[in-house]
Structures are given as C-alpha cells and as structure tokens.
Amino acid sequence: MILIFDIGNSDVTIGLWNGQQWAHLWRTPSKIEQPELFYGIKVRDYFLESQVHIDQVSHIVLSSVVPGLTAKIKNVISTIFNKEPLMVGPAIYSKIPLEILNPYEIGTDLVANASAAYARFHQTCIVVDFGTALTFTTVSGKGKILGVSIAPGLKTAIRSLSQNTAKLFDVPLEIPPSALGTTTITAIQSGIIGGYEGLVKNVVTKIRTELKEECPAIATGGLSSIITPLKEFFYAVEPNLTLDGLRVIFEWVNNK
C-alpha cells in the first residue's frame, strides 16, 4: 500500500491507498509548534485504530507547503516505517509528463491538483481548491500548467474579519437563509459565502474567456462542499483530488 502525506497550511492529510481506493484517510491540524513526537504518536494511533500493520506500507509520498513541518514529518516516516519518502518538488518534476510553471515557486499541492486533473480528464481544466487559500490552477489538455490565481480561503477571510473588527467574531461556515443578514452571524455568512460564490464564478469565467475555451471547473479541498449553490457550476467535486495527484505523481516517477 502507498501512504501519502500532504502537509497543508491548515491540516496534515494522510491517505492510505490499497491499489484500488483510499482505504483510510486521516487528518490532523498543522501545528508547527507541536514536537515530532506528537505526530509520531498520531500516525501510530491511526494505524492501530484502523488495524493496519505498518509493514503493509510499501511506498511513501510526502508533499509539503509548510517548511516548518517537513523535517518533522520526514523524521516520523523514517522512525516508524524505516523508509525514505518520495519528496514531491522540483527535483522530480523532470520525471513527470507535466510542464510546471515556475517550479521553485508553485506549491506542490497545486502541482498535485494539476497532475490529477490532467491524468483524469485529458482536457484543459480549472482546479478550484477550497483550502486555507482559494486557488485556481489551470492545466492544459497537453499537460502544461497555464497559470494560477490565489485568493484568501473562506476560513481565512472569516478569521481576518473577526480578528480585525472589534465587534465581529468567528462564525460557522453555513449557507445563510437569506442574502439579507438579520444577525451578525447571518450577515457575515451572507457576505463571505455569498461573495465567494460570485468570486469563484467570476474568476473561472475570466479564465475561460482568456483561453477562449469552455474548460470544466473541478472543485476540491476540505471546504469544497460548503458553497452548495456552486455544485451545479462544477463539472465534478473531488475532495481527494490533491491526494490523487500525489499518487499519480508517484506512479509517473516509478513508471507504474
């Protein structure tokens, strides 16, 4: 089985691929201040609770956009599994059939999203990732990352609003009953969630206009299911697309 670690700004997502499907998915908050031991215990507990033996893991892939956690997780992998992970980054990009835009700048999560979309849909796609940042990664049908657009993510926007405004506070990410907020909570929900619906549609429309192509938009990320009015707007909603992309990269590198 292939074990994949995706270290994001909000969470460390861990997926165990059994050759056919994701047998297990685990998620823990990304906290740079936590010691290596904390993550080691987490990983051991996940395997113990899921009744999966450590020896069942044959290969490991590691992607990270949080430098402060990369070495810790890599050490956890070495200690528990006694294996060297495939590190996703510029050093291996020459081995994958994807032309990477600014390889030393673009996040490995965005490369993974583009890889999964290219491998699965075989046409120009816009991957909209609802994470800590809201990202739009466009990959051509010929396997070239054409560009990326980045905006603050939903939680990031709400957190910024509550931290910088004395009388506002964190609110749950839920669709409000009306665009006319009648309480502080529904007012924030209406402005943020309703506003982001328009933001997503506008950015995707601008990309399509510039490309002169009706390329499909694919949604992913932990918050991809929050804005339900966008469900029909997306060609597909794939919550595990980033993990799928990291698995695809592993297969490309190893010619499987």
Which range has the worst mean pLDDT, 85-94, 136-145, 194-203? 194-203
Q: What pLDDT is stored for residue 164 in this prediction? A: 55
| Amino acid identity, position 148 | V
Q: Which domains does the chain have, with CATH numbers?
A: 2-87 (3.30.420.40), 90-247 (3.30.420.40)
| Mean pLDDT along residues 188-209 | 90
**201 has a pLDDT exceeding 80:** yes
Q: Tell me the per-residue pLDDT of 176-192, one tens digit each, with 9 for 90 and over.
A: 788 887 787 788 888 88
Give the pairing of strands 86-87 and 59-64.
parallel
- 109 catalytic per annotation: yes
Of 6, 45, 55, 109, catalytic: 109
| Mean pLDDT along residues 14-31 | 95
Which residue in 242, 238, 239, 208 sits closest to 107, CA to CA? 242
Q: Tell me the per-residue pLDDT of 85-114, one tens digit each, with 9 for 90 and over.
A: 999 999 999 999 999 989 999 999 999 999
